[in-house]
């Protein structure tokens, strides 16, 4: 058997950069456009590659699927599983749309249930992923969703922050093979914004080892510009200021969707 060749100086850095570029290319860019909806997203890995992911897939001219997930652990193992989850979600979503069987429940329920059965059936070194997967129908502004152990999103309305209890779902994907899931539904209003985020946002720590916390995120959302890109930029800037000279400790991912004109 031929002995493995040693990497040349700079080769490892080059391959790491290629891995980062491949992962970035898997994120939707530009974000899809659906009449009556507006989207914005940001993802900043703590290392070269990320265990977080977001995605948005057009189902039809009036429906959009939205995904935000966070794989346990960091580095390449988490990034690899994140890429596998994204690919499986897209394949399962296509199948659910082709078969179009309402008796199986809303599309998010079908996708997450099948994904969990697939993920829990393989040996992934005990890895799992929290996930928020939703379908927004612009025709009636209904958000159907499954929350698989993920941070509940914030709903921002023209009147302020709505503490919608977007927790219906089940355990993280891949944690329990026989897990069952439920789907929730939320009726949005015109100009509502749904902010979905990973725990790297609220768990970011400052030099005094204090968490950024949900309350600070809510305060930013109350005062931020209604433009989604500006909103996400404001949150990221606040997190950078909160950490100070500390390195980013966890991946940070946010995806925001606005119904109607934000």
Model confidence at 80, in pLDDT bands (50, 70, 90)?
A: confident
Determine if the pTM surpasses 0.85. yes
Asked whether residue 19 carries a pLDDT value surpassing 80, the answer given is no
**Sheet strand arrangement including 154-157:** 37-44, 252-259, 193-197, 154-157, 160-162
Question: 129-154 pLDDT, tens per residue?
Answer: 999 999 999 999 999 999 999 999 99
Q: Which residue has the higher pLDDT, 112 or 104?
A: 112
Q: Which residue has the higher pLDDT, 4 or 91?
A: 91
The percentage of the chain sitting over the pLDDT mark of 90, rounded to a whole number, equals 53
pLDDT value at residue 1: 47
Q: Which residue has the higher pLDDT, 247 or 118?
A: 247
Q: In degrees rounded to 5, what are phi and psi of residue 252?
A: -125, 125
Could you state, in order of their start, the residue ranges of all structural domains in the chain? Answer: 33-259
Q: What is the CATH number of domain 33-259?
A: 3.60.40.10
* Across 172-193, average pLDDT: 91
Measure the CA–CA gap between 69 and 82, rounded to whole angstroms: 8
What the block records as the tokens of 186 is 């939320």
Nearest-5° Cα angle at 128, 126 to 134: 165
Q: Of the ranges 116-120, 126-130, 235-239, which is most confident?
A: 235-239
Q: Which residue has the higher pLDDT, 182 or 163?
A: 182
Q: Which residue has the higher pLDDT, 259 or 255?
A: 255
- Note whether 165 and 64 are within 8 A (CB): no
Model confidence at 58, in pLDDT bands (50, 70, 90)?
A: very high
Asked whether residue 48 carries a pLDDT value surpassing 50, the answer given is yes
* pLDDT, mean over the chain: 85
Q: Of the ranges 20-34, 71-85, 102-116, 134-148, which is most confident?
A: 134-148
pLDDT value at residue 171: 96
């Amino acid at each position: 058997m031929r002995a493995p060749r040693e990497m040349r100086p700079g080769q490892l850095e080059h391959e790491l950069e290629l891995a980062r570029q491949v992962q970035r290319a898997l994120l939707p860019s530009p974000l899809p456009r659906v009449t009556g909806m507006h989207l914005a997203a940001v993802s900043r890995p703590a290392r070269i590659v990320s265990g977080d992911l977001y995605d948005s897939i057009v189902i039809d001219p009036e429906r959009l699927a939205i995904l935000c997930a966070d794989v346990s652990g960091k580095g390449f193992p988490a990034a690899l599983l994140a890429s596998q989850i994204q690919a499986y979600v897209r394949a399962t979503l296509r199948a659910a749309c082709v078969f179009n069987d309402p008796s199986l429940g809303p599309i998010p329920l079908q996708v997450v249930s099948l994904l969990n059965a697939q993920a829990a059936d393989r040996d992934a070194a005990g890895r799992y992923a929290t996930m928020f997967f939703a379908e927004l129908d612009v025709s009636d502004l209904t958000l159907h969703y499954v929350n698989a152990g993920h941070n509940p999103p914030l709903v921002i309305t023209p009147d302020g922050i709505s503490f919608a209890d977007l927790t219906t779902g089940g355990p993280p994907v891949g944690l329990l093979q026989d897990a069952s899931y439920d789907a929730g539904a939320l009726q949005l209003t015109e100009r509502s914004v749904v902010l979905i985020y990973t725990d790297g946002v609220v768990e970011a720590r400052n030099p005094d080892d204090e968490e950024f916390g949900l309350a600070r995120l809510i305060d930013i959302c109350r005062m931020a510009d209604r433009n989604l890109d500006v909103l996400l930029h404001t949150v990221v800037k606040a997190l950078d200021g909160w950490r100070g000279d500390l390195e980013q400790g966890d991946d940070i991912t946010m995806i925001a969707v606005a119904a109607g004109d934000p």
